[in-house]
Structure 1
Amino acid sequence: MPMSENDQDTHIIEAVGRSKIVIKDGKVTEVSGSRIRHCPLAKKFALPVDDITPDAVRANIEHRMESWGMCRSHRSVCGRAEFVGFGASELIGSGLSSKSLDAAVLACDGAGTVIATSPELVQGIGGRMSGLVSTSPLKDEMDRIEQNGGFILDRTTAKVDQVLGVSRASAQGFRTIAVTVASADDAVSIRKDHPDAFIFGVHLSGISEEDAARIISVSDIVTACASKWIWELAGPRALVQAGTAVPVFALTPQGKRLILEKIERTDRPVLITGSKLPSYGPEVPQPLI
């Protein structure tokens, strides 16, 4: 169903411990309280969030909108700068560079579900993006995505549908397809219909124990975020843990290989050591939810 005129420029995202942020007509109109107080990753944002309050979250989101155009028509869609060593976009981009992946299905503000085929487009879309709940189509942005080799699932509505996105990528002839998912239902459906898909669970803070178990059972990599259940259930099953503050857990040989490929390609120093997992660093999100 087409959106009403009042919904033509509305974007809803979740960030920094599941704060709900509503952006309308290029302005932040709503920020709900976060479920966590501190996050070591948020302290490293371009505009750091030390104490997680609605005012601090608002300032951070407005900084993203001003600096690279999030939820605005002039949004940057390509990038090379890496913001975390083992984030979803960094790992998937590395996989595209090494040719172990040939497409990625991502969620992008202003475009909805996107099929990306270059590391630069993956990093530009996902490097600084938070959890996208829903979005409105921004024509100029979608044009730039397509000009840079991307495919938009639905230009009319900019809907977010990762299940359909993987099916579309498969129909277009892509074979090694990575997809970011925040829903256990989506992850299970994708694994059933596309057994060879590379599933990357993201934005999992606050997920229930049942859904955490379900998404872990079908994912190749999951991000711990501030999820008590991802830490407790994915950690002991992981083949590799990358990071200790807000880590990712590789749950399959394919997930492990993607992390090792990223290590091979990086110039950053990396510590590798055997350990019982999960390994908690001196700082983790507080509280885990």
Structure 2
Amino acid sequence: MVEDKHVIETLGKVKVVIENGEITEVGSSDMKYCPMFHAMHKVDELNEEFIRKNINFRIKDFGMCTPDRVIEMDDLVTVGISEILKTNMENGSIDCVVGACDGAGTVIMTNPRVVQGVGGRVSGLISTTPIPEVIKNLEEKDSIVLNPETAELNQLEGLKIALSKGYKNIAITVIPSPMIKELREYPLDDDVNVYIFVAHTTGVNAEEAEMLFEYGDIVTACASKEVSRYADEHQPYYYGTKVPIFCATEDGKRFLDNRLEKINKPLSTKDYPRDKSDSPHELI
């Protein structure tokens, strides 16, 4: 039997393993409170019971890590990475997105609703194995799966495919790793732009946080102590108080403001010191 095993990190830095549609492992985290989950689910403590309940909901609701995976969705929250990307694909600012999907690995996407569906409710994808039904559905929506045989996660190789297809404005979603520097330094033609969106930053150290802002365009705060510290020190533009989204570049600010303008929200701000009255804790 072909292995079916998917490893994600969610709700802080909690490792969750899903095999054959069932949760087989749930780790622990020092983060016990998230304002987003408190607002959505009225939960005061992110304990193992809630984590299992939440992951099981994702499995049943949109088939996460199963052959029933829904790959197209409408906006889920007002402002998240997938919503920012969807809006900027719709307005023509971004041609394609190199992202990651459970059951498929790295995927090059050109359909805004697929970008939303793939990224909207999944946390940090650490590893995954191929699910033929998911790969087939993605390909039918004009997506390119980097390696259908292995579901490899490799955003640099995904970028190379996007370039080979002639895309000029390429967005890449990525979790913190040294590959971010490689993505930024990859040689490009003068008419090609690469934009890096960094998510799932919880747990990065000070050196990594600095690297994210040096090479990324958008950096999410998540429950990261060091991303929060770096932002307070360098004061980039941002949006949100509970779990802010930071703009590391002018391009990042442009993309974020495009989304905010579409939904009639105030544009990104440099209002420091930031309101931290309802932040995740403990930060990691």
Q: Secondary structure at the match of 1:106?
A: strand
Q: What's 1:77 paired with?
A: 71
Matches within 5 A, 1:202-217: 202-217=199-214
RMSD value, Cα: 1.7
Figure out how many residues of one structure are paired with residues of the other and give that number.
Answer: 280
User: Of 1, 5, 8, which aligns to 2:3?
Assistant: 8
Corresponding residue number in structure 2 for 1:58: 52
Unaligned segments of structure 1, at least 5 residues: none
Residue of structure 2 equivalent to 1:151: 144
Give the C-alpha shift of residue 272 in structure 1: 4.9
| CA distance in 1 between partners of 2:268 and 2:159 (Å) | 35
Distance 1:256 1:274, change over 3 A: closer
How far apart, CA to CA, are the structure 1 residues paired with 2:47 and 2:11? 10
User: For residues 68 and 258 of structure 1, do their structure 2 counterparts lie closer, same or farther at Cα, with a shift above 3 Å needed?
Assistant: same
Summarize the alignment of residues 72-221 of structure 1 with structure 2, pairs less than 5 Å apart: 72-80=66-74, 82-194=75-187, 196-221=193-218
TM value normalised by structure 2: 0.93
Partners in 2 of 1:78 and 1:44 — Cα distance? Answer: 25
2:12 to 6, 13, 17: 17
Structure 2 CA distance, aligned partners of 1:42 and 1:194? 40
The DSSP-based 3-state class of the residue aligned with 2:280 is coil
Check the 8 A contact 1:235/1:249 in 2, yes or no: no
State the shift of 1:236 in Å.
4.2
C-alpha deviation, 1:234, in angstroms: 3.0
Residues 46-95 of structure 1, C-alpha deviations (whole Å, 9 max, x = no match): x5643111111011000100011000001100011x22222110001111
Q: How much has 1:44 moved relative to structure 2?
A: 4.0
Distance (Å, rounded) in 2 between the aligned partners of 1:40 and 1:135: 28
Q: Does the CA-based 8 Å contact 1:101-1:176 persist in structure 2? A: yes
- Residue 251 (structure 2) aligned to one of 251, 254, 270: 254
Change in 2 beyond 3 A, CA 1:141/1:274: closer
**Distance verdict in 2 for CA 1:86–1:43, change over 3 Å:** same
CA distance in 2, matches of 1:61, 1:27: 10
Aligned partners of 1:166 and 1:236: how far apart in 2?
32
| Whole-Å separation in 1 of the counterparts to 2:183 and 2:10 | 25
TM-score, normalised by the number of residues in structure 1? 0.92
Aligned partners of 1:234 and 1:251 also within 8 Å: no
State which of 28, 32, 45 in structure 1 corresponds to 2:27. 32
Give a deviation string over 1:207-238, Cα, whole Å, max 9, x none.
Answer: 01111111111111100000011111134435
Pair 1:48–1:67, CA change in 2 (3 A): farther
Task: Assess, with a 3 A threshold, how the Cα gap between structure 1 residues 235 and 98 changes in structure 2: closer, same or farther.
Answer: farther
State the SS of the aligned residue for 1:132.
Answer: strand
Runs of 4+ residues deviating >6 angstroms: none
**Per-residue deviation at 1:239?**
4.0
* 1:285 counterpart residue number: 280
1:270 aligned counterpart, secondary structure: coil
Contact persistence 1:184–1:212 (CA under 8 A): no
Q: Is contact 1:238-1:249 (8 Å) kept?
A: no
**What is the CA-CA distance between 1:120 and the residue it aligns to?**
0.2
Q: Which runs of 5+ in 2 are unaligned?
A: none
Percentage of identical aligned residues:
35
- Whether the aligned pair in 2 keeps the contact of 1:236 and 1:277 (CA below 8 Å) is no
Distance 1:197 1:281 in 2: 32
Work out whether residues 107 and 144 of structure 2, in 8 Å CA contact, stay in contact via their aligned partners in 1: yes
The letter for the 1-side match of 2:278 is E
Q: Which amino acid aligns with 1:38?
A: Y
Partner SS for 1:38: coil
Residue among 211, 223, 226 paired with 2:223: 226
| Partner secondary structure for residue 41 of structure 1 | helix
CA spacing shift, 1:172–1:274, aligned 2, 3 Å: closer
